[in-house]
Structure 1
Amino acid sequence: MHLIIRATGAGAGMLSHLLAKNPNNLYDRTEKEARVRIVFTASSEELTEAVIYVTPDPVELVKGDSQAHNDITQYINDREFVTSSLFCTYIRAALGTALNGKPKEAYVPRVKEPLELVLSFGPVASNLPDRTVEELFGALGYEVSLERGDAEYTFALKARSSARYIRLKGKQTLQTALQQLFVLIPALDDYKHYYISDDEVDKIRRYGSGWLEQHPQRALILKRTLRFAGAIRQYEEMAAKELQEAGRGPGAPADIPVLEESSPGGSAEPSGVQEEPKVRLNDLRYEAIARTVGELDARASIVDFGSGEGKLSARLSSVPGVREIRAVEPSAASQLRAMERFAKLEGRPGVVVPEPVTGSLFYFDESLRDRDVMILCEVIEHIDEHRLDRVMDTIFSQYAPKTLIVTTPNKDYNTVYGMEQEEIRHGDHRFEWGREAFSAWCSRWTGAFPYTAEITGIGEGSAEYGYPTQMAVFTRGEHLQ
């Protein structure tokens, strides 16, 4: 993870003074368990360039996390490499003088003087499409260039990587440029490693002063930096108060659309800011699956693959006729939460307590064969497409459930959420299919195995785009029962 700041033209040599760093010395410090280094690769009155390079300790990244010892996936992520909110935290102390605009007294008048700057940073792992990234910085007057690293695979992984290197060119004061980066880098990454408190709201207000209120993507920036409706509303109230005090208008707080929080084993669905949403899409999925299971003749034994925290399994536990539920999940952390949820079901009349099972779709489990119902709720989109065929072949040929229920997002419906064509609903989704692609996929499996498939939708429907979630119910032919 790095940030390169280059100043050119008259006054470029002022860059080192505004950063309060001697261009002849290497800055090498440890900040929050990360090594931060600043080196000047050029230093003259016409060209000055500072390279800020951060190397975090990957083990320290998970230390102190109470879940780290339960789940190896804590160690398998991109946080060690990408330019994110973590990167901003690491370099804040080193750039504090420039961020606050408080260099030595002799240079204070130069704080407000714009420089010809080129800012290069990355890699940035963002689920935003290129056009949106360009709009975020282009609206601030920068020329924006995006570059992706080259990678060759022997299989189809992704059409394009979500990781990009970003280069910005424009005339801006160093203080404002850095403040813009400290707001927009976390917005691009859409990941927060810290609690969003009043201090975070105040930081966005201070760093966004003079540019954020007029930014055309202001709603998106607030949604991805503050995340929660309460924090966004608090920011709006502060901004409105400042506008009133400045005599620039009433500035009534605006309604800002936000994403629902994502839970392990589930996906985040875009929605409007609401104090109490009537019914979440996740709940509608569970209700639709429970209703479908309740209508089946054979429903005594159920396998819930990718059960996460056990919410769906707990919902199915009260369906009449169900005698056994096996909640299969590879994540130990999610399983612990599921076990706590299942423990609360014990002793309730007419309720079957699900059995947690450590397992994965990639490892065959003989004990799961020939069950009445197998469920993959929002699971397949988290599997690379080149691996999905093997998973489904195992399900149909080896597990051979009487009924297989599969739900997955409907990409067509993303337009209703105001999403770009390249955007996906959750950062871990390997793909999302529209209705035509999902139907073709289902037909391929019913053509290869003695199953029929019925496809329906879940959620608030659209005449043009269908439903936010699509569900396929595969039924095994009678001659195999």
Structure 2
Amino acid sequence: MLLTLSTTHRPATDLGFLLHKNPARAQQVEVSTGTAHVFYPEATDERCTVALLLEVDPIALVRGKGDGEGFALGQYVNDRPYAASSLLAVALGKVFASARRGVSKERPELADTPLPLEVHLPALSCRGGAALAERFFAPLGWQVQATELPLDEQFPEWGAGRHVDLRLTGTHRVADAVNHLYVGLPVLDGAKHYWVSADEIDKLLRAGQGWLAAHPERELIAARYLAHQKRLTGTAMARLAEVDDAADLDDAVAEEPAEAPERPTPLAQLRQGAVLAALRSAGAHRVLDLGCGNGALLTALLAEPAFTEVVGVDVSTRALEVAARRLRLDRMPERQRARLTLLQSALTYTDARLAGYDAAVLMEVVEHLDPDRLPALEHAVFTAAAPATVLVTTPNVEHNVRYPALAAGGMRHRDHRFEWTRAEFAAWAQGVAGRRGYAVRFLGIGPDDPEVGPPTQLAVFTRTSAQEVAA
């Protein structure tokens, strides 16, 4: 299996610093399925190419698998030694582990710099042909040239096989390029040579950080990467849908009209104040912050002694790490620290740890979920956890016309899956309340425009029965 990566950045030999592989010498790395060779066919200031050649050991592939598993001869006679697949992805991940993390002690500024790159895979297993390669790589900013290879050159009438000659060109960070390939090879191959378990979800999300959540084929990518295991794919999609970037990109679209004569109170601060007031009014003491992100609301909750137990919940471990740093958890007084718990959990799955609290807050969370995941969130929050009070805030899409910086039809955050009108939000909330045994009332947050309403809408759910009400 062969993969080459080239750059014309000058001096091009800086590629060796980014890949942590010296262009002056060939290297060998033992992997579970054979030997990976790294060498540089060309290394000049004008152009540098690194080659990764995986020499597959067919005996290592079947060692320990027992007798009678699959077609015995097929374990030894197949295309694996030649066509790039998940075997090469594993080798890529091991050989270029530091490059994937985007670190370089010698050239730290270059590691963050997009470079002109060219990737060539002369034989890639691609169950879906050239069209699938285009669907995967083009949205990532690559120019894709995929030529389908004949099933047998001596018999062209047999047509194309499932292999392509793939060439990618584009301007990317080396770390991003390597991660695109690390995910892309097994996805295009449509199979993995090893058992896929739940820890593969973390591998996928780490490699896909910054691009997978916004990829138009993210569901296909997750399904193929996770060997079409529905449970794992569902969990991965939920985590992608619910991930909350540590930076609040909502603020980037100027949530207050630019023409305002004086700068009003930021909408994020108004949201927080409205939520705290609703919690006080409900008499809540034990509070869940569901989708807590970087911990902005947690800080405010801990500042009020009335909230005796505060639990921050997020699907993203990275977001929880950011929250811990923001809260200075390591230096927090022990008495206050005892009031706080941070939990990693997906809000579309039942979690017994979240049951029995006075109140739960979903502040700017629901719009990050795909609409077909809302029933799962509804069950997990309103039936399984069933707090006495649930607060839900979400943007009012009608108000978007008041933001000159926001393109027509655009959303306030790149990860929003939808934004509701006031009528749509009311219909959803009233449906949830009726099905789950709650009453609901609505409040506006921010300036109430007479034509398009306030920028944010708040639903306050109050439980009226302990059991779910039949729809």
What is the TM-score when the length of structure 1 is the normalising length?
Answer: 0.49
- The C-alpha deviation readout for 1:80-127, integer Å capped at 9, x for no partner, is 2221111111232211110112222x3222211011000111411222
Hey, what does 2:193 align to over in structure 1?
193
**Distance (whole Å) between structure 2 residues aligned to residue 230 and residue 177 of structure 1:** 29
Cα distance change, pair 201–79 in 1 and its aligned pair in 2 (3 A): same
Hey, what does 1:125 align to over in structure 2?
125
User: By how many angstroms is 1:188 displaced?
Assistant: 0.2
Structure 2 counterpart of 1:147, one-letter code: T
- The C-alpha deviation readout for 1:134-185, integer Å capped at 9, x for no partner, is 12111111111123446433584x3112211110000000001110111111
- Which aligned segments of 4 or more residues in structure 1 are displaced greater than 3 angstroms? 67-70, 148-156, 246-249, 253-256
Hey, what does 1:102 align to over in structure 2?
103
Hey, what does 2:429 align to over in structure 1?
none
8 Å contact 1:68–1:74 — kept in the other structure? Answer: no
8 Å contact 2:39–2:50 — kept in the other structure? Answer: yes
8 Å contact 2:132–2:188 — kept in the other structure? Answer: no
**Distance (whole Å) between structure 1 residues aligned to residue 140 and residue 192 of structure 2:** 24
**Distance (whole Å) between structure 2 residues aligned to residue 80 and residue 208 of structure 1:** 27
User: By how many angstroms is 1:32 displaced?
Assistant: 1.5
Structure 1 counterpart of 2:190, one-letter code: D
1:253-268 maps to which residues of 2 (within 5 A)? Answer: none
Cα distance change, pair 248–146 in 1 and its aligned pair in 2 (3 A): farther
8 Å contact 1:28–1:36 — kept in the other structure? Answer: yes
Structure 2 counterpart of 1:77, one-letter code: N
Hey, what does 1:78 align to over in structure 2?
79
Cα distance change, pair 218–241 in 1 and its aligned pair in 2 (3 A): closer
Cα distance change, pair 66–16 in 1 and its aligned pair in 2 (3 A): same
Cα distance change, pair 202–56 in 1 and its aligned pair in 2 (3 A): same
Cα distance change, pair 37–154 in 1 and its aligned pair in 2 (3 A): closer
Hey, what does 2:353 align to over in structure 1?
none
User: By how many angstroms is 1:75 displaced?
Assistant: 2.3
Cα distance change, pair 68–79 in 1 and its aligned pair in 2 (3 A): farther
1:356-435 maps to which residues of 2 (within 5 A)? Answer: none
Hey, what does 2:178 align to over in structure 1?
178
Structure 2 runs not aligned, ≥5 long: 245-290, 295-362, 374-471
Structure 1 counterpart of 2:145, one-letter code: S
Structure 2 counterpart of 1:233, one-letter code: G
1:136-285 maps to which residues of 2 (within 5 A)? Answer: 136-149=136-149, 151-153=152-154, 156=157, 158-226=158-226, 227-243=228-244, 244=291, 245=293, 249-250=365-366, 251-252=368-369
% identity of equivalent residues? 26
Secondary structure of the residue aligned to 1:13 is helix
Structure 2 counterpart of 1:167, one-letter code: R
Hey, what does 1:324 align to over in structure 2?
none
8 Å contact 1:34–1:90 — kept in the other structure? Answer: no
Secondary structure of the residue aligned to 2:209 is coil
**Distance (whole Å) between structure 2 residues aligned to residue 127 and residue 89 of structure 1:** 19
8 Å contact 2:33–2:87 — kept in the other structure? Answer: no
8 Å contact 2:149–2:160 — kept in the other structure? Answer: no
Cα distance change, pair 255–46 in 1 and its aligned pair in 2 (3 A): farther
Hey, what does 1:63 align to over in structure 2?
63
**Distance (whole Å) between structure 2 residues aligned to residue 27 and residue 137 of structure 1:** 29
**Distance (whole Å) between structure 1 residues aligned to residue 84 and residue 55 of structure 2:** 11
8 Å contact 2:183–2:207 — kept in the other structure? Answer: yes
Structure 1 runs not aligned, ≥5 long: 257-481
**Distance (whole Å) between structure 1 residues aligned to residue 223 and residue 82 of structure 2:** 24
8 Å contact 2:129–2:148 — kept in the other structure? Answer: no
Cα distance change, pair 55–79 in 1 and its aligned pair in 2 (3 A): same
**Distance (whole Å) between structure 1 residues aligned to residue 188 and residue 34 of structure 2:** 21
User: By how many angstroms is 1:255 displaced?
Assistant: 5.5
User: By how many angstroms is 1:213 displaced?
Assistant: 1.1
- The C-alpha deviation readout for 1:207-240, integer Å capped at 9, x for no partner, is 1111111111112111211221111121123224
- The C-alpha deviation readout for 1:222-278, integer Å capped at 9, x for no partner, is 12112211111211232244224268743225659xxxxxxxxxxxxxxxxxxxxxx
- The C-alpha deviation readout for 1:45-70, integer Å capped at 9, x for no partner, is 33111011111112221111113578
**Distance (whole Å) between structure 2 residues aligned to residue 68 and residue 8 of structure 1:** 50
**Distance (whole Å) between structure 2 residues aligned to residue 215 and residue 155 of structure 1:** 36
**Distance (whole Å) between structure 1 residues aligned to residue 240 and residue 33 of structure 2:** 35
Cα distance change, pair 36–154 in 1 and its aligned pair in 2 (3 A): closer
Question: Alignment length, in residue pairs?
Answer: 254
Structure 2 counterpart of 1:84, one-letter code: S
